Amino acid sequence: MKRQLWFWVLVAIAAGIAFGLVAPGPATDAKWLADAFLQLIKTVTAPVIFVTVVIGIASLGDMARAGGLALRALGYFLVATVCALALGLVAGNLIQPGSGFSGAASASGTESAKEKIAEAAGSGTGFTGFITDDLLPTSFVQPFVENEILRVLIIAILVAAGVSVLARRQREQVLAVFDVVSKILFAIIRMIMWAAPLGAFGGMAYTVAQFGGGALSNLALLMATFWGTCAIFVFGVLGLVARWSGFSIFKFVRLLKDELLIIVGTSSSETVLPRLLSKLQKAGASKQTVGVVLPTGYSFNLDGTCIYLTLGALFITQAAGQSMSIGEQIALCALMVLTSKGAAGITGAGLVTLTASLQAFGGTFFSPESIAVGIALVVGIDRIMSEGRALTNCIGNGVATMVIAKWQGERDEARFQAVLDDPSLADPDVLDDDDLEPDAPAADGGRFERPESATVPALA
């Protein structure tokens, strides 16, 4: 157990909580550890997504097949988004966390809210704004420099389409180069991930020191409503989807325990994307399905963020002493179906998206003054809620990948069930046989071979 990454992440989280309670001053300064770890992960995230998507699509050798996979994934994401938004609306109307709110935003909260509003105002709104400001890249290099996942995804799709039209021999030569680059990137990630306990320690110490129990008392109902709604979505909605696809959501969450603990410490689902790409492939999903569905889901399937958006909007409306009709709430949801896309799993992205959504909706409910006050109220607990968003997003995208793999006929069922029973079989930190030289002995712990046909791995 002491050799497992999740054990040390758990120890670091406990130590961070204790440090934040005992020495809140120095603990606040420990945030740089979490920031440094996140910065290291972000360094390789864009290249990993680019290489993985290119390999996943181009190795299909058939753009019609790749297009069918993408359409199925986007259809699934749309349904999941609508369910998450609707669930958030139901929870907000039933519990009404903002009703009778008598607190006031702090000066620091108001200042932070102004920054979020200015940041949201810097991007376009509506469909055309989404296309020009969030979707299409302005250069080939800029998305990698700015770590803009959605734009990197667009470039990767274009490159994969270009590779797909090459002659078979040329395509195989190009993919061989990408495959080597992929192995190098994942080797780097395995080294970086051993710094995860330091990132978790710094993140938890800062969170406890900065947002202790007293500071969260007035907004406790909102947080409890949000976390409870996320739990209902994961174990209720996704649980039914998982059962329909032939697996247990509880076993699947156990499979992702390492990644979920890292998210708890860093408050970002982006930190575990490279590990998820490797783990889900080792769990039995084909390289093509994982390479297309998972990175796309990080921009188009943000279930936790959707729940946060509707709950946050209703909370701000209720806290201002106003109300919205069912028709107006549905209209707001329809807008958020669009604005939620492209909100990458990075700490604070949900708050910016909420601000942009309220500004785009406008009207008497969300005047500039009410938006500023509402965001100022929410900004203090955003980090706590950000963890719930990131956890839900991670589980949702993992379930989506395995469900669509089954839908495509590209999930090794025997392998998947074996991994659910023994998660160590899909440990991303264990080298596969094909990560070694052809004439080298297999590494200790290597548990299966991956056929050269790029089908899903089989049990050894």
Instruction: Note the pLDDT of residue 51.
Output: 84
Q: Residue 183: left if φ>0, alpha if ψ -120 to 50, beta else—which one?
A: alpha
| Whole-structure pTM value | 0.66
For 21, half-sphere exposure in the C-beta direction (CA atoms, 13 angstrom radius) is 7
pLDDT in tens, 366-410: 566 666 666 666 665 666 677 888 899 899 999 999 999 999 888
Of residues 176, 156, 154, 133, the one with CA closest to residue 360: 133
Q: Do the domain assignments include residue 345? A: yes
Q: How far is CA 302 from the centre of its chain?
A: 7
Number of domains in the chain: 1
176: CATH = 1.10.3860.10
Q: Do the domain assignments include residue 454? A: no
Q: Do the domain assignments include residue 39? A: yes
Q: Do the domain assignments include residue 452? A: no
Instruction: Note the pLDDT of residue 143.
Output: 83
- Find all residues with CB under 8 Å of 368, minimum gap 6, and list them: 117
Q: Do the domain assignments include residue 458? A: no
Average pLDDT for runs of 10 along the chain of length 460: 69 84 84 79 78 75 68 88 91 82 50 53 54 74 78 83 84 87 81 80 76 50 89 95 94 92 77 86 89 81 86 80 78 73 52 66 60 62 75 93 92 93 82 48 38 36
- Find all residues with CB under 8 Å of 187, minimum gap 6, and list them: 435
Two structure tokens written together for 91? 């929870």
Long-range contacts formed by 86-90: CB under 8 A, 24+ apart: 86/310, 86/333, 87/229, 87/232, 87/233, 87/237, 87/307, 88/229, 88/306, 88/307, 88/308, 88/309, 88/310, 88/311, 88/314, 89/310, 89/314, 89/329, 89/333
Q: Do the domain assignments include residue 450? A: no
Two structure tokens written together for 15? 């130590």
Instruction: Note the pLDDT of residue 7.
Output: 76
Range of the domain at 302: 5-431
Q: How far apart are CA 199 and CA 36, in angstroms?
A: 7
pLDDT in tens, 347-358: 455 666 676 667
Instruction: Note the pLDDT of residue 445.
Output: 38
CB 265 within 8 A of CB 254: no
Rounded to 5°, the CA angle 229-230-236 comes to 85
Q: What is the dihedral of CA 377, 380, 383, 384, to 10 degrees?
A: -80
Q: How far apart are CA 156 and CA 48, in angstroms?
A: 10
Q: Do the domain assignments include residue 305? A: yes
Rounded to 5°, the CA angle 302-303-307 comes to 120
Q: Do the domain assignments include residue 145? A: yes
Question: Directed axis angle between helix 273-282 and helix 382-407, to 10°?
Answer: 30
Instruction: Note the pLDDT of residue 279.
Output: 92
